[in-house]
Structure 1
Amino acid sequence: MTIQIGDQIPEVVLKRIREGVESVDTPTLFEARKVVLFAVPGAFTPTCSEKHLPGFIERFEDFRNRGIEVICMAVNDPFVMQAWGRTLDAPEGLQLVSDGNADLTRALGLEMDASGYGMGIRAKRFALYAENGVVRELFVEAPGEFKVSSADYVLEHLPA
């Protein structure tokens, strides 16, 4: 079942690279803060690299000025996520996290089967806004679309 507005973010462990590879659980990422989590089907894929992450990079300070942290997630390993962030000059503070086994993606009910493209299980393209670990807004793209999970759209639809 897909996560809904009002639901708590499931407790799952993700990976990220800072000083080295670290495990970080979702309560650490979401509790006591405002967070936009957006997910892409894959780092270095066309729409993800040309539009989705670049939009959040461009609007990063607008989110920060509203007290909102930004996290990008993909079903890729943490080394790929780190390299992708460096390639696109992601600012310090915009976290790129790895859901390498699609644990959070599945727990959210937002997985898709991209086996036909040789990519296995991936995250649907989506964004969500959470306050203190509770989903307040959810923006899930239709297959092949890129509209409602863009940085501009999300910013326009967040509570003032």
Structure 2
Amino acid sequence: MTIQIGDRIPEVNIKRINDGVDTIDTHAFFEGKKIVLFSVPGAFTPTCSEKHLPGYIALFDAFRDKGVGIACMSVNDPFVMKAWAASQNAPSEMEILADGNGDFAKALGLEMDASAYGMGIRSKRFAMLVDNGVVKQLEVEAPGEFRVSTAEHMLTLV
């Protein structure tokens, strides 16, 4: 079942990229914070690298000025996510999350099967506003679209 507005984030361990890589529980990660979590189908893929992550990087300060953090997640391993964030010059304060096995995407009910493209199980493209572990806004893209999960759109909702 897909997570809904008003639901608490499910508890799953994910990898957070800092100077290194650490494992963090999602309840601990979201506790006491207001964060826009956006998820992309894959690091280094065209829309994700040319539009999605760059949009959040460009508007990072605008979100921060509203007291909202940014977290980017993908079903990729932590080493790929670290290299992708570095290649995109992501701010060091932006949270980069690796959901290597797709456990968090599955727990959210937001996984998709991209096997036809040789990518296996991935996350749908989405963005959500999470306040102290509770989903306040949820925007899930229709297949092939890039509209409601953009930084520009989410900035209007925070």
TM score, norm. by length of structure 2: 0.98
Number of equivalenced pairs: 158
52-61 or 28-37: bigger deviation: 28-37
- 1:101 match: secondary structure: coil
Name the CA distance, whole Å, in 1 between partners of 2:77 and 2:104.
14
Q: Structure 1: which 4+ aligned runs deviate by more than 4 Å?
A: none
Query: Residue in 1 aligned with 2:74?
Result: 74
Once the 2 structures are TM-superposed, how far is the Cα of residue 29 of structure 1 from its aligned partner? 1.5
Equivalent-residue separation in structure 1 for 2:119 and 2:130 (angstroms): 28
2: CA distance between counterparts of 1:88 and 1:96? 12
Q: Secondary structure at the match of 1:35?
A: strand
Per the alignment, residue 115 of structure 1 pairs with 115
Residues 84-127 of structure 1 show CA distances to partners (whole Å, capped at 9, x for unaligned) of 00000001111111000101100000000000000000000000
Residue of structure 1 equivalent to 2:125 = 125
Aligned pairs for 1:5-16 within 5 A: 5-16=5-16
Alignment-derived partner of residue 36 in structure 1: 36
Query: What is the CA distance between 1:27 and its match in structure 2?
Result: 1.5
Cα distance in 1, alignment partners of residues 18 and 61 from structure 2: 21
SS for the counterpart of 1:149 is coil
Alignment of 1:6-155 (within 5 A): 6-155=6-155
Structure 2 gaps of 5+ residues are none
- TM-score, normalised via structure 1 length: 0.97
Instruction: Give the drift of 1:76.
Output: 0.1
Cα deviation 1:10-29 (Å, max 9, x = unaligned): 01100123232210111121
Q: 1:58-95 CA distances to partner (integer Å, 9 max, x unpaired)? A: 00001111111110000000000000000000011111
Q: CA RMSD in A?
A: 0.7
Q: Percent identity?
A: 61
Q: Where does structure 1 lack aligned partners over 5 or more consecutive residues?
A: none
